[in-house]
Amino acid sequence: MNIAIMGVITKPISQNTFGGTEKFTYLLVKGLVERGHNITLYCAKGSKTDAQKHVYIVEPEIAMSENSNVQFVYPYTLAQIRRLINDTKKISYDLIHINAIKSFMMSFFSAEFNLPLIHTIHRDYLIHQQFVNMYKALGISKNEYFVFVSKNACKKNKLPNTIKTSFIHNGIDPTEYPFNEKPSLASYLWLSRIDELKGPDVAIKAAKAANVGVILSGDIDREKYQNFFNNKIKPYLDEKRIFENAKNLKRKVFLYQNSKAFLFPIQWEEPFGLVVVESLSSGTPVIAFDRGAMKEIVQHKRTGYLVKPNEGVNGIVKGIRFIESLPKEKYFEMRKNCRLSILNNFTYKIMAQKYEQFYSKIINQ
């Protein structure tokens, strides 16, 4: 198949990208090219993937900038869409797969395309009625298809029943997150961007209450997150509970491989949770609030521990104590189960195969 992929323009897409949507796109391209497809990626300058062709739209720094209250990601996304419209008049693509953060903007122009448009929905905006009302006002074209990244996200969306929806789980490259049976650290791990929705404050409070060490590793990329960090996390930092900004992939992998368990006390309906899969691939079990897609990824007491969200900090403490109570043999067995769950369900090769099957079904109907 000859496939155009519309990628994020606010970050380069590459193997070392930090960002779930960008890494998804990198691995989808890799998997599809390995399966013999021809891929053209419309993306930010600096992107490096296995795609046969890259169409660079803008430098990511420019797309991320603002001036006089104008966020330039919007006009440059329009430029990206215009380039796709022009190119489809000259190039015979079989379909366009949309993986941009502002992917909803493509629907305004769907009538310009005489080929299937596949949206992978990485965020939760389609559970909000305002967005659904926008789509209803637009009148979604018959050539548009919506793929969610988990069964839960697909089930929770509020699109009309007439809209074609499906779900395909994200996948990772397990060779990037090698298995380690015996971790060298006695501490737990929380790793994500510093954001209240990701629950780093719950993680550090739980670690303190359980009297265990924890490493919080994450970006602070906005002023509001810095304020949250200063007020809700910094007061709890000490010798056993530390913060670091692990932007280096090698360090990130080390933390995954060598932590006792990964803490994921999410405060929202996380559509997937790539960090959870990365942790499991490394052999590290996950203690998470049972929200969003967690039940689809984490097997309770087999590859981790699922906590009812209303149990709050105490629930995460229970999860920590469960891990601490396991005999060594049982704990090492759990780590092996973590790795196997990824190899059997969440690799990029499995993901690419499922998308290929989805593409074929659409094209042949």
Contacts of 266 (CB under 8 A, 6+ apart): 197, 198, 199, 273, 288, 289, 291, 292, 294
Indicate if 137 and 93 belong to the same structural domain.
yes
Indicate if 192 and 324 belong to the same structural domain.
yes
Indicate if 158 and 15 belong to the same structural domain.
yes
Indicate if 358 and 341 belong to the same structural domain.
no
Indicate if 103 and 129 belong to the same structural domain.
yes
pLDDT reported for residue 18? 75
φ/ψ of 287, rounded to 5, equals: -105, 115
CA distances (Å), 317 to each of 204, 207, 276, 289, in order? Answer: 10, 7, 18, 12
Indicate if 183 and 292 belong to the same structural domain.
yes
Mean pLDDT (the chain) is 94
Q: 147 pairs with which residues across the strands? A: 120, 166
Using CB atoms within 10 A of its CB, is residue 70 exposed (0-12), middle (13-18) or buried (19+)? exposed
What the block records as the tokens of 274 is: 């790539």
How many angstroms separate the CA atoms of 136 and 50, rounded? 37
Task: State which residues form the domain around 181.
Answer: 174-345
Residue count (the chain): 365
pTM of the model: 0.92
Indicate if 147 and 179 belong to the same structural domain.
no
Indicate if 192 and 331 belong to the same structural domain.
yes
User: What would the mean pLDDT of 273-298 be, rounded to a whole number?
Assistant: 98
Indicate if 106 and 142 belong to the same structural domain.
yes
pLDDT (tens digit, 9 = 90+) per residue, 66-84?
887 788 999 999 999 999 9
Work out how many domains the chain is built from and give that number. 2
* 35-44, 189-198, 244-253: segment of lowest average pLDDT: 244-253
Inter-helix orientation angle 312-325/200-209, to 10°: 60
Indicate if 11 and 71 belong to the same structural domain.
yes
- The CATH number given to whatever domain includes residue 69 is 3.40.50.2000
pLDDT (tens digit, 9 = 90+) per residue, 109-166?
998 999 999 999 998 878 888 878 887 787 778 899 999 999 999 999 888 877 889 9
How many angstroms separate the CA atoms of 307 and 337, rounded? 19
